Amino acid sequence: MQNLTELPGNTTSSNNLSVIVKVCVVIPFFIAFMFFILLTLYTFASHRQFFDSSRYILFTYMLMNDTLQLLSSVSLFLLVMGAVQFAIVYCAPLLFVSTATFLNTPLILSTMSLERYVAIFYPLHRPAIWRPEWIWIIILSLWIISCILPTVDFVLLRLKPGVDVHSTPVLCKSNVLNASPIQALFKVSLNGIFFAVVAVVILFTYIRILLETRQMRQDRVSVRKALHTVLLHGFQLLLCIMAFSQPVAEFLLVQRVNLSQADMSFIYYFCFILLPRFLSPLIYGLRDESLRSYMKKAMPCYGARVDPNKEVKMAK
């Protein structure tokens, strides 16, 4: 996975300020996201009616996946920034979770786009698999698919000579598990197919909903909201795909721009790994009137201003 694990671990005094700045940039965003996700999950737990909608169930699943992605990736980021070395046997689980959750993100985006498509075109005769009581089957399938690549990394693992899995300390970076050319080729090919399929799904749902928007004379507001949601999912997917352009960008820009490889890697990590995760709560959390109203009630600064007996109509 093209993420912070590619950042080189520099411990020289000349880079101390750069490390401090990077940590001070990442940590506040991480704390803000964790506050928002805990508030959202608390809201869901306090109002069980949200779980009667497959849309909100998928949103909860997306937040949980993004939380695991951030916890693992930020942990790896801090370990690499601190040049902390330890055995591969302890590093591998972190890399596994980070890679699996990274790949799970585009799968969730495409699934949520399909859910909007099904909700619009089959509002009264929704297939059973998309109903709230069966949506867990889709969620389980997404996890299985996203775990294929990191599992293959372990199966094809070929360590460098002199490296012992249990005792040799290493920087916890993805190239530790991707040492052979076969692994690199397989990874690039699978990622290319993986993201191409997801892009086709999101593009298909966007075009179909767009055509439906032009044909419908009633309920155009809900269809337009679904159209905007799918468009934002496509933007998130684009940010994820951009993470794989890091090697090309480094080759083209490092020599022309006064940036080190470590700084370029950090920019890519922040823009294309962290930023899409911060956008996820904004797309469904702050744009959803029903959820936003309940979240305001849950916040101490708003709780005294809102009538607790006031009911908020659930968004369709």
Question: What one-character-per-residue DSSP string does 45-99 give?
Answer: HH-GGGGGSHHHHHHHHHHHHHHHHHHHHHHHHHHHHTT-EE-HHHHHHHHHHHH
pTM: 0.82
Q: What is the pLDDT of residue 10?
A: 45
Parts of the chain with a pLDDT under 70: 1-14, 159-161, 176-180, 216-220, 244-257, 283-285, 300-316
- What pLDDT does residue 299 have? 76
Note the pLDDT of residue 170: 84
pLDDT in tens, 121-149: 887 777 777 888 888 899 999 999 999 88
Predicted local confidence at residue 147, as pLDDT = 92
Note the pLDDT of residue 140: 93
3-state DSSP assignment of residue 144: helix
Q: Give the pLDDT score at 245.
A: 67
Among 286, 313, 294, 270, smallest CA distance to 229 is for: 286
Q: Look at residue 75 in the predicted model and tell me its pLDDT.
A: 92
Q: Are 88 and 159 in contact (CB under 8 A)?
A: yes
Supply the DSSP symbol for 313.
Answer: P
The first and second tokens of residue 35, run together, are: 């506050």
pLDDT at 5: 47
105 vs 277: CA distance, rounded Å = 9
- What pLDDT was estimated at residue 240? 76
By three-state DSSP, how is residue 1 classified? coil
